[in-house]
Amino acid sequence: MLAVTGSIAAYKSADLTRRLREAGAEVRVVMTTGGCEFITPMTLQAVSGHPVYTTLMDVEAEAGMGHIELARWADLLLIAPASADTLARLVQGRSDDLLGAISLACEAPTAVAPAMNQAMWADAATQSNIALLQQRGIHLFGPAEGEQACGEVGSGRMLEPLDIVSACSGLFATGSLAGKKVMITAGPTREALDPMRFISNRSSGRMGYAMAIACIEAGAEVILISGPVCLSTPERVIRLDIESAAEMLAAVEAQISGCDIFIATAAVADYRPVDVAEQKLKKQASTLTLSLEPTTDILATVAAHKQSPFTVGFAAETENIEQYARGKLEKKSLDMIAANQIGKQQDGTPIGFESEQNSLAVYWQGGEKNLPKMQKSRLARELVELIAIRINA
Ligand SMILES: Cc1cc2nc3c(=O)[nH]c(=O)nc-3n(C[C@H](O)[C@H](O)[C@H](O)COP(=O)(O)O)c2cc1C
């Protein structure tokens, strides 16, 4: 959650939003009335890809994602730029505007990136406010020194967007997989029918990309073998793009030696067309029968290696989750399997595929853990910690 307040540095918030998204974050923006004077909600809506929240007393907004829900949604509340006034209001615990209410209700970490004139920053009131906020556990990013918008020179500039992004990643760094090399497969595969058409599935790749980010935060080196997805490559991740199951298998086999952990989140096609037409198939008969043959099971292949890495499978099921997941764990000799329910919830919203949220039931020999429904980014962090515990067990 990015909160934008009334500072001249608010013009950098659009770039910050983009940079956070490039680093793999899902960004929702809250703006104070002051913030809206410096940059429009429209701009931040366009760059974040979500509606921007500006008002507390808003019947429609409360009926949608209300302030408590927004506060619960966030993994991090980042206030950037944070004005002197907002810092003072945080100290008082005011909740007469949306940002105040969210910051009180938010149980996730909060970080502030102050931006103000050097004298405002140096003032005893601001210094005492920031010291109190830090005592309460709020993280301070910056400010930087240098020339200011008002022409003065000194401390009080907002950190540059990329520096804020790396400070955010630093908050989630656990080091639990330090020194480990992890390979992750993600997204769908495409099995060609002809030069134009293919068989594929609804996998968005989000869970795999979230796992890649969580592994990076945990200190691992990550190779991501990705099917076609609309996601940008997380920072410090080596990404190899493939299309078909056969290409994914070849990429995995070429890179797997030396990997300590193999996490297979990709929704790999189980079958591919026996014949791929060289020219576009023409519309002729009233029915068309496709002949399909099985693809190689990539996860089982890696798990069967003599010196196999710690293998983690994903099982997307619509029914009998535990039975199917434990069956796969045994049959493919996996070290761990994370099973999830896919499909539609009672209210019709998707869960699993094409969704930002998911829940997982994780099984291993002699153990299990349920990770309840939450953002995929948070879920990935919890699963990575579980993997780190099991790998060291
Ligand atoms: C042109 C202009 C630039 C301003 N720049 C800053 C700034 O960089 N930092 C700051 O703390 N306040 C700045 N202010 C003052 C804040 O906008 C003002 O204190 C406002 O009440 C902040 O409200 P908010 O924190 O609720 O967004 C500026 C005001 C104006 C008119």
For residues 384 and 218, the answer to whether their CB atoms sit within 8 Å is: yes
Section 238-265 average pLDDT: 97
Tell me: the pLDDT tens digits for 27-48?
999 999 999 999 999 999 999 9
- Atom 10 of ligand 1, residue of closest alpha carbon: 83
- Atom 22 of ligand 1, residue of closest alpha carbon: 6
Res 349: pLDDT? 66
CA distance 263 to 177: 14
Section 225-246 average pLDDT: 94
Least confident of 157-171, 208-222, 350-364: 350-364
Asked if the model's pLDDT at residue 297 lies above 90, the reply is yes
Instruction: State the pLDDT confidence band at 347, using cuts at 50, 70 and 90.
Output: low
For residues 240 and 225, the answer to whether their CB atoms sit within 8 Å is: yes
Mutate to test the pocket of ligand 1, among 2, 7, 79 (most ligand atoms within 8 A of CB): 7
Label residue 382 exposed, middle or buried (CB < 10 Å: 0-12, 13-18, 19+).
middle
Mutate to test the pocket of ligand 1, among 8, 11, 90 (most ligand atoms within 8 A of CB): 8
Asked if the model's pLDDT at residue 240 lies above 80, the reply is yes
- Atom 25 of ligand 1, residue of closest alpha carbon: 86
Mutate to test the pocket of ligand 1, among 83, 92, 150, 159 (most ligand atoms within 8 A of CB): 83
Using the mean position of ligand 1's atoms as its centre, give its distance from the Cα of residue 337 in Å. 51
Q: Which of 280, 294, 289 is nearest to 245 (CA)?
A: 294
Q: How many CB atoms lie within 10 A of CB 391?
A: 17
Q: Directed axis angle between helix 206-217 and helix 376-391, to 10°?
A: 50
Phi, psi (degrees; rounded to nearest 5) at 284 = -130, -85
Res 262: pLDDT? 98
HEC string for the chain: CEEECCCHHHHHHHHHHHHHHHCCCCCCEEECHHHHHHCCHHHHHHHHCCCCECCCCCHHHHHCCCHHHHHHHCCCEEEEEECHHHHHHHHHCCCCCHHHHHHHHCCCCEEEEECCCHHHHHCHHHHHHHHHHHHCCCEECCCEEEECCCCCEEEEECCCHHHHHHHHHHHCCCCCCCCCEEEEEECECCEECCCCCEECCCCCCHHHHHHHHHHHHCCCEEEEEECCCCCCCCCCEEEEECCCHHHHHHHHHHHCCCCCEEEECCECCCEEECCCCCCCCCCCCCCCCCCEEECCCHHHHHHCCCCCCEEEEEEEECCCHHHHHHHHHHHCCCCEEEEEECEECCCCCEECCCCCEEEEEEEECCEEEEEEEEEHHHHHHHHHHHHHHHHCC
- Atom 11 of ligand 1, residue of closest alpha carbon: 83
Using the mean position of ligand 1's atoms as its centre, give its distance from the Cα of residue 9 in Å. 9
> Which positions are catalytic?
150
For residues 352 and 373, the answer to whether their CB atoms sit within 8 Å is: no
For the chain, percent of residues with pLDDT exceeding 70 = 96
* Mean pLDDT (the chain, rounded): 92
What pTM did the predictor assign?
0.78
Section 92-99 average pLDDT: 94
* The amino acid at 311: T
Tell me: the pLDDT tens digits for 261-284?
999 999 999 999 999 999 998 888
Using the mean position of ligand 1's atoms as its centre, give its distance from the Cα of residue 8 in Å. 7
Q: Note if the bond before 294 is cis, omega within 30 degrees.
A: no
Using the mean position of ligand 1's atoms as its centre, give its distance from the Cα of residue 117 in Å. 10
Which residue ranges form the domains of the chain, and what is each CATH number? 2-171 (3.40.50.1950), 181-391 (3.40.50.10300)
Ligand 1 — pocket residues by CB below 6 A? 5-9, 32, 34-35, 83-86, 115-116, 120
Q: How many CA atoms lie within 13 Å of 355's alpha carbon, on the beta-carbon side?
A: 19
Instruction: State the pLDDT confidence band at 319, using cuts at 50, 70 and 90.
Output: confident
